[in-house]
Chains A and B, each alone.
Chain A
Amino acid sequence: MSMLETSIIGVLSLAVLIAAWRVLRGTRSWRWTRVVGHAAMASLLYLLIFPPAIERPRDIGIVLTPGVAQSQILKRDLTQPILALPGVAISDRSIVQVPDLATGLRQHPEIGDLHVIGDGLPARDRDALGDRGMTFTPSDRVPGIVELQIPHFVRAGSIGMVRGRVDRGDEVQLRILDRNGALMTSTLTDKEGRFELSLRMKAAGQSLYRLQRMASAEKVGEEIPIPMVVVSGDPVHVLILAGGPDADLKYLRRWIIDSGNTVSSRISLSPGIEQRQNSASVSVESLAASDLLIVDERAWSALSEADKILIRAAVEKGLGLLLRVTAALPKKVAADWKVYGFDAQSADVSQSVSLARPIGGVSLTRLPLRFDGQESVPLAVTTEGAVLSEWRAVAQGRVGTWLLLDSYRLQLNGETSRYGSLWSELFARIGRARGKRLPEMPTRARVGERSVLCDLKAEASIEDRDAKRHDLLVNDEPGLCAAWWPEKSGWKTLINADSHWPIYVYANDVAGGLARMKVRDATSQRVKVGAGPSHYAAPMPRWPLFLVWLLVSAAFWWLERPTSRRSN
């Protein structure tokens, strides 16, 4: 009950009481009838001011959203109430322009379920839907690029994939230019309009590429910035124990060092003679300091039982362990690895294989061996589906096997990126889990649109180019997310406690197709059939109440009128 209502009740009650006191003090007849009459009149007046609510049936309302075609407007049912959101050109007077959906619905309580026509409801208006039912007739096709997936973070030197879809049937050429305008890669769309572009990343840092959809051979139809945040990766410390030098080992060690990781290695050359890089001993400290231990079967059989126990303990504490099989396994080694869950069996397979991922035409050699692993996950698979490498978890650590003999051939064939991808994936999967957690970035931050950042620390802020900071209000709930409405386009920096992450904000006028498609998809997801209440409570009309009040008042006026004429 509002203040106004309370005070009006107070005033009316006071008036009734005073009137009753005056009537009862007087000597005229019909005294109690008149007291009751006053009370009745006051109650009726109250009802007139605050009419009671009654149930009413609801209508389906039409909501016109931007992108709606005139033909769609003309086809509508004229009996239905019609609302137009900003951005719709209104053609006739029956359409009500509203600033947003919530306002429109408040002004038109008779509207129940909605029929949305056009591109759909923007985020703000989707929240106004409540539990109403909604049907959606999307606008015609959206021209240009309507889907685009860009990885948020890519590792230095790796291949970043840009995938997307163009909403057009025939072949469209797409290409990516770098910041200097040099052509990096180009492709044609397939029958469904999908495309996939791969970009070899440079060193860590932020870089802005440009994706161009070609309208013709020379004319650019659409240009979308492609922000790439290249991260340097975690420096992995690898411990290598090998029974003898080989080419694969040589290239592996070279790659480890060149890619910013460190390696300690011990390669036996002859009994008692070893080639060492750093101090590669098996001890509690060295194993705890390493992220991955790569050992071949010869080195394994040379390990003492005490060493093996140390290794097992280290693996259970999170160390990664990879067995690089370079020849048939000695019985003892096979038995040891059966305990780790890898049961080695000789296999009658072709030794010449090519990798399914990363795809490369180079033919490699494998060992004719097979591990009947329990609950193991394949890591490297041939094009025929044979597993060359697999891993399984052992407590906090992971243990894997490797049957490929000459991965270095990739390197020799100039496929350095593929070689690196192959091994870096292995390192990432098997190595110790101590990577820096990357914050979850919004898919595509746009000026003026709500973006959500997750996995934040309590003190997070966004800094723009001129060093102006906006603190983010981080939600305590699991996920540690914060919402952000960017004001300007371009590169910003997310300062998440002590780490800095570049984040790119799209201007409002680029990638229109993507934005429209996003709204459309989000609206489609909210489609619900007639779930809202079919009736609504509206205040009853005032005129009957007024008539009643007038009649009653007139009657009592007649009763109260001066009776002097009668008495005189």
Chain B
Amino acid sequence: MKHGMLEKLRKSMIRRNVANVLLWIVPLLAAIFLLTRLTSTRVVLAAALLAIVLLVVRLIQALRSVDLGDVVRKLDASSPTLEDSADLLLDPATHRTPLQTLQRERVRATIETAAMVDLRAAWKWRVAFLVAGILLSLSMLTIFLPKSLSLPNAQSEVPLPSAAQPEVTRLSSSQLEIKAPAYTGLSDRNELVLDAKFAEGSRLHWRLVFDPQPTSASLLFHDGSKLVLRQDDAGWIAEKVLSESALYRIAIESAAPLAEDRLFRLDAMVDQPPEIRVIQPDKTLSMVELDQQSWMLEFEVSDDFAIADARLAITLAQGSGEQVTVSERSERLRADASTDPRRQRYRRNLDLASLGYSAGDDLIIRLIVRDKREPSANTSRSASYILRWPPEMSAESDGVEGIVQKVLPAYFRSQRQIIIDSEALIDERKTLSDDRFLARSDSIGVDQKILRLRYGQFLGEEFESGAAEHQKKGKDDEKASQQDALVEDHGHQQDATTATTFGNETNILAEYGHTHDHAGAATLLDPETKKILKAALAEMWQAELHLRLGKPREALPNENRALILIKQVQQSTRIYLARVGLELPPVDPSRRLSGERKGVADPRGVLVDSEPGDKVIANIYKQLAEKSAVDLDAFDAWLRGEGAKRADALSLIASIDALRREPTCADCRNHLLDQLWQAMSPPPVATKLRSPPDVAGLEYLDKIESDVHR
């Protein structure tokens, strides 16, 4: 009670002192703010810590700064009316003299009346705020300073702790520039990650910046190839043209290993061959309609990049049976106007008449499309579409033979016809005038010449140009002395019905024989046959010579020899095709049915496991799933060797690598498991044998058996 007044005064003084200390928080904060602009966080933190310690010390000092004695002294100093007796207020009551008591009461009254005694220290905000203002304006200045000025300041701090040894090398920036081949029309891309997809054949350009700088760097590809990176002022660069998917990792020579050392994946987007959609005709075999003049074709072609050209292959098969003439040609189609080079539409209206399409012919078309892939274009072919003009029913098909036509090789008949004609001429020699005889003999000679030329084509000999001229001439003048065989044959055709059976056969020759194109057959004959054919032609030459000279009797032996030779040719040409398929060893006739077994050995069984790859994958999956020891190296080696054909080999290699680098990574393990699971195919069913019976069971089984036998 007695100190109540003094105590109140003391507390107010302490409060002011504390407030004066707390005022300094403002300049301290400003100082820290300035530091953050200039130095590293570590320094800032240290400074902040120091400031807090200082503040706390000052606060404690401020809290203990004032005791009651100080208050009394201050009271005495502040007011002379107290007559330096304020300390009486502190004295205990017991030892007071009456005078002291009196004086004490006076002082008390004075203080109470004065009431508003202010003993507190003055506010010291001016200095604090001035310092804070200066610091803040300094930090404002740093904002406008260029970075180069403030950075060295910051860096001067950083190297100190890290100068000793950076722990890892960081890839501070990476850039992968992909230049797709020009034909794709893809624009160049810049990837900031090192995994990328690229069109096959793209040129890839890496630019890597490491921190700190390694002494050398390279890219290691999964197939073992190495691409050395060159250093230039903007980083480490390298360039490579890739046409296949690949995995690679960055290898550096540096004291500090790479922070993120993993496999990167480059996926090649393979240029697919163009796709052809045939809109018209809608079925592969269409029958010609009555009075059809043209055949409308329509195709839609799409490709992933660009279509180079489209060609229409037109095949016309004329004739029937063995006498089929096939003519092929191809024409380039022009696409409908389209802005998209990846999707084109082609239309073509085939004029049937101009193709020479007639009854019994097949018109076969297919579209062949190439894209612009480099270096070799992808080619797609559509299915063959056939327009069929069914042949007219044969005139002779009145019997049970139906439409079967007797098509026999015409040339033998012709050679024989020449012989018969020659013999007939020899018989008629007496009744004929010399001129007439010579003319008849000459005409047989022309026949012989035509026949020789026709066979000559088999040997690749040129058809004499004279024949075509004769043909024209023949058309003008039926009675030309040197009649063309073709015209002659047509003549035969006209009187075929009244002629002998031989003539009838010649008819067929006329119909099918001379339009037949043998040019392609020149290579079909084996050398042996060619030799015989040559001999036959030589005989024909001789026969023609004699016939032209009007000596059919001398020509006759040549004609007969030619016939025999041609017959041989006919027989040998029948087996000119090699047969393929089961080739059994030749039967040894000397051992047949003799029971002779010498030299016959048991064939060895050579059954081996057909799917060893599946077992490798299944085994790895099992080990990995059970978390037992896994031989990833062996699996990796297998994937690079035997398993390299697998489509998923690359991704498996990448997953294995990820797991090997981080064996504890559960996600990597699960990812690999997922991939292995996908790669596994159900194996053949395994067998689980019964488990063995126990001793009692065995005894029981044995007893039962002996009981049965008893």
Min CB distance, A497 to chain B, in Å?
Answer: 15
Say yes or no: A207 contacts B625, CB within 8 Å. yes
Give the contacting residue for A269; candidates B603, B618, B691; CB below 8 A: B603
Min CB distance, B550 to chain A, in Å?
Answer: 72
Give the contacting residue for B682; candidates A417, A436, A438, A500; CB below 8 A: A417
Say yes or no: B687 contacts A259, CB within 8 Å. yes
Does B678 reach chain A (CB closer than 8 Å)?
yes
How would residues 477 to 510 of chain A score, 1 for a CB under 8 Å from any chain B CB and 0 otherwise?
0000000000000010100000010100000000
**Which segment, of B49-57, B296-304, B605-613, faces chain A?**
B605-613
**Which segment, of B35-43, B203-211, B239-247, B698-706, faces chain A?**
B698-706
**Which segment, of A19-27, A66-74, A392-400, faces chain B?**
A392-400
Closest to B689 in A: A435
Closest to A156 in B: B686
Mostly, the B contact residues are loop
Does A434 reach chain B (CB closer than 8 Å)?
yes
Say yes or no: A233 contacts B686, CB within 8 Å. yes
User: How far does the alpha carbon of A103 sit from the alpha carbon of B485 in the complex, in Å?
Assistant: 125
Residues of A within 8 A of B690 (CB): 428-429, 431, 433, 435
Min CB distance, B709 to chain A, in Å?
Answer: 10
A395-B705 contact in complex given A261-B687, A291-B689, A420-B685, C-beta closer than 8 Å: yes
Residues of A within 8 A of B329 (CB): none
Min CB distance, B635 to chain A, in Å?
Answer: 14
A396-B702 contact in complex given A155-B687, A254-B610, A431-B690, C-beta closer than 8 Å: yes
Give the contacting residue for B701; candidates A278, A395, A416, A429; CB below 8 A: A395
How would residues 237 to 261 of chain A score, 1 for a CB under 8 Å from any chain B CB and 0 otherwise?
0000000000000000111011111
A275-B674 contact in complex given A155-B685, A157-B686, C-beta closer than 8 Å: no
Give the contacting residue for A234; candidates B689, B702, B704; CB below 8 A: B689
How would residues 57 to 92 of chain A score, 1 for a CB under 8 Å from any chain B CB and 0 otherwise?
000000000000000000000000000000000000
How would residues 660 to 702 of chain B score, 1 for a CB under 8 Å from any chain A CB and 0 otherwise?
0000000000000110011011111111111111000010011
A424-B622 contact in complex given A275-B605, A394-B705, C-beta closer than 8 Å: no
Give the contacting residue for A273; candidates B600, B609, B684, B688; CB below 8 A: B600
Does A200 reach chain B (CB closer than 8 Å)?
yes
Give the contacting residue for B611; candidates A206, A258, A465; CB below 8 A: A258
Say yes or no: B689 contacts A427, CB within 8 Å. yes
Say yes or no: B702 contacts A205, CB within 8 Å. no
Say yes or no: B677 contacts A424, CB within 8 Å. no
Residues of A within 8 A of B683 (CB): 156-157, 202-203, 258-260
Does A16 reach chain B (CB closer than 8 Å)?
no
Min CB distance, A36 to chain B, in Å?
Answer: 72
Residues of B within 8 A of A236 (CB): 687, 689
Closest to B678 in A: A180
Say yes or no: B607 contacts A263, CB within 8 Å. yes
Does A28 reach chain B (CB closer than 8 Å)?
no
A234-B688 contact in complex given A205-B618, A206-B625, A273-B600, C-beta closer than 8 Å: yes
A178-B677 contact in complex given A396-B698, A433-B692, A435-B692, C-beta closer than 8 Å: yes
Say yes or no: A435 contacts B688, CB within 8 Å. yes
Does B642 reach chain A (CB closer than 8 Å)?
no
Does A201 reach chain B (CB closer than 8 Å)?
yes
Residues of B within 8 A of A152 (CB): none
User: How far does the alpha carbon of A429 sit from the alpha carbon of B691 in the complex, in Å?
Assistant: 10
Say yes or no: B622 contacts A203, CB within 8 Å. yes
Say yes or no: A427 contacts B687, CB within 8 Å. yes
Say yes or no: B610 contacts A258, CB within 8 Å. yes
Min CB distance, B538 to chain A, in Å?
Answer: 55
- Considering only residues 623-660 of chain B, those with a C-beta below 8 Å from chain A are 625-628
Does A443 reach chain B (CB closer than 8 Å)?
no
User: How far does the alpha carbon of A272 sit from the alpha carbon of B601 in the complex, in Å?
Assistant: 9
Say yes or no: A433 contacts B689, CB within 8 Å. yes
Residues of B within 8 A of A275 (CB): 602-605
Does A277 reach chain B (CB closer than 8 Å)?
yes
Say yes or no: A234 contacts B621, CB within 8 Å. no
- Considering only residues 383-420 of chain A, those with a C-beta below 8 Å from chain B are 393-396, 416-417, 419-420
Say yes or no: A233 contacts B687, CB within 8 Å. yes
Give the contacting residue for B688; candidates A155, A269, A316, A465; CB below 8 A: A155
Say yes or no: A180 contacts B622, CB within 8 Å. no
Give the contacting residue for A203; candidates B600, B680, B702; CB below 8 A: B680
Does A179 reach chain B (CB closer than 8 Å)?
yes
Closest to B610 in A: A258
A272-B686 contact in complex given A179-B674, A180-B674, A203-B621, C-beta closer than 8 Å: no
Does B615 reach chain A (CB closer than 8 Å)?
yes
**Which bracket fits the contact residues of B?**
35 or more
How would residues 198 to 232 of chain A score, 1 for a CB under 8 Å from any chain B CB and 0 otherwise?
00111111110000000000000000000000011
A420-B684 contact in complex given A276-B602, A394-B705, C-beta closer than 8 Å: yes
Closest to A374 in B: B708
Does A158 reach chain B (CB closer than 8 Å)?
yes
Residues of B within 8 A of A502 (CB): 625-626
User: How far does the alpha carbon of A261 sit from the alpha carbon of B689 in the complex, in Å?
Assistant: 12
A435-B691 contact in complex given A156-B683, A206-B626, C-beta closer than 8 Å: yes
Say yes or no: B687 contacts A203, CB within 8 Å. no
Residues of A within 8 A of B617 (CB): 203
How would residues 255 to 297 of chain A score, 1 for a CB under 8 Å from any chain B CB and 0 otherwise?
1011111010100011011111110000000000001000000
Does B479 reach chain A (CB closer than 8 Å)?
no
- Considering only residues 383-422 of chain B, those with a C-beta below 8 Å from chain A are none
Min CB distance, B434 to chain A, in Å?
Answer: 79
Min CB distance, A495 to chain B, in Å?
Answer: 11
Min CB distance, A439 to chain B, in Å?
Answer: 11
Residues of B within 8 A of A276 (CB): 602, 604-605
A231-B597 contact in complex given A200-B682, A203-B614, C-beta closer than 8 Å: no
Residues of A within 8 A of B704 (CB): 393, 395
A433-B626 contact in complex given A200-B682, A258-B684, A416-B684, C-beta closer than 8 Å: no
Residues of B within 8 A of A260 (CB): 615, 683-684, 686
Closest to A255 in B: B684
User: How far does the alpha carbon of A77 sit from the alpha carbon of B358 in the complex, in Å?
Assistant: 104
Does A421 reach chain B (CB closer than 8 Å)?
yes
Closest to A180 in B: B674
- Considering only residues 575-626 of chain B, those with a C-beta below 8 Å from chain A are 597, 600-605, 607-611, 614-615, 617-619, 621-622, 625-626
Min CB distance, A95 to chain B, in Å?
Answer: 47
A234-B687 contact in complex given A254-B610, A275-B602, C-beta closer than 8 Å: yes
Say yes or no: B622 contacts A205, CB within 8 Å. yes
Min CB distance, B623 to chain A, in Å?
Answer: 8
User: How far does the alpha carbon of A156 sit from the alpha carbon of B681 in the complex, in Å?
Assistant: 11
Residues of A within 8 A of B627 (CB): 465
Give the contacting residue for A434; candidates B614, B677, B692; CB below 8 A: B692
Say yes or no: A232 contacts B625, CB within 8 Å. no
Does A437 reach chain B (CB closer than 8 Å)?
yes
Closest to B608 in A: A257
How would residues 359 to 380 of chain A score, 1 for a CB under 8 Å from any chain B CB and 0 otherwise?
0000000000000000000000
Residues of A within 8 A of B689 (CB): 233-234, 236, 291, 427-428, 431-435
Closest to A178 in B: B677
Give the contacting residue for B615; candidates A203, A432, A500; CB below 8 A: A203
Sample of 15 further A-B pairs with CB below 8 A, known A206-B622, A435-B691, A493-B626 = A157-B685, A158-B685, A179-B674, A200-B682, A204-B622, A234-B688, A258-B611, A275-B605, A277-B604, A277-B605, A393-B701, A395-B701, A437-B691, A437-B692, A500-B628
CB pairs A–B below 8 angstroms (20 shown): A153-B688, A155-B685, A157-B683, A178-B677, A179-B677, A203-B617, A233-B687, A233-B689, A253-B605, A254-B607, A259-B683, A259-B685, A259-B686, A260-B686, A291-B689, A316-B702, A316-B705, A395-B705, A396-B698, A435-B690
Write the residues of chain A forming the contact surface with B, with a CB cutoff of 8 angstroms: 153, 155-158, 178-180, 200-207, 231-234, 236, 253-255, 257-261, 263, 265, 269-270, 272-278, 291, 316, 393-396, 416-417, 419-421, 423-424, 427-429, 431-438, 465, 491, 493, 500, 502
